[in-house]
Amino acid sequence: MDANSFLMGGGGAPTAKFPTPGTVVGGRITEPPKVEQQRDIQSGEQKFWGNGDPMMQLVVTVQTDQRDPAIEDDDGRRRIFVKGQMKNAVSDAVRQAGARGLEVGGTLHVRYTHDGEQKNRGFSPPKQYAAKYVPAAQAELAAPAGAAAAAAPSAPTAAPAGDPWATAATPAGVNTVTGEITGNEPPPF
């Protein structure tokens, strides 16, 4: 935690939620991503692997067009907790963008594509993700003038405004459920 976070209190922006396949959360990265230890949702205790190593995650804060009336003064910022399969999707997106990592001003969008294979009884199947990253310099060039002012607040949907995967038609050779390439065609994003 930095000094200003301590001073101003609070846990930061609300957590990004991925309730259903197709949900996309993303936007411009507003603060430097940080690595922190995962915590148990129920107890708040720090999590460790079986060998005693801490379970880590990357926390990325993005400016979205989402507004939740239940959150007082919701400014649309959301924290994406990058871990597990999502980490693989985000690191692949960074590599595809030709970047060395995530940076403030870049744009990150994460899409919950589908549920994976359930491996443990009593647990939900693991969520699978796809990600799209545009480095800060490219994001600045691609942003239309006044785009931020024109964005209308909304809740997360299967294809929100600004969804980097939203197209008029799904390109041939792309699985419409998972977004995976099924042929030799280049990725659509």
CA–CA separation, 130 vs 109, rounded Å?
8
Nearest 5°: phi and psi at 12? 95, -165
Of 161, 100, 173, 172, whose CA–CA distance to 133 is shortest? 100
Q: Please give the pLDDT value at position 151.
A: 40
Mean pLDDT, residues 155-161 taken together = 46
pLDDT digits (tens, 9 = 90+) for 16-46: 999 999 999 999 999 999 999 999 888 889 9
> What does DSSP assign to residue 152?
P
Q: 47: helix, coil or strand?
A: coil
User: pLDDT category, 4, cuts 50, 70, 90?
Assistant: low
Instruction: Tell me what the pLDDT averaged over the chain comes to.
Output: 78
Contact 113, 176 (CB under 8 A): no
Mean pLDDT, residues 39-68 taken together = 93
Q: Inform me whether the pLDDT recorded for 57 exceeds 50.
A: yes
Q: What percent of the chain has pLDDT over 70?
A: 69
Q: Inform me whether the pLDDT recorded for 171 exceeds 70.
A: no
Mean pLDDT, residues 78-102 taken together = 95
CA–CA separation, 89 vs 65, rounded Å?
22
Mean pLDDT, residues 90-119 taken together = 94
Q: Inform me whether the pLDDT recorded for 143 exceeds 70.
A: no
Q: Which two tokens stand for residue 183?
A: 């042929």
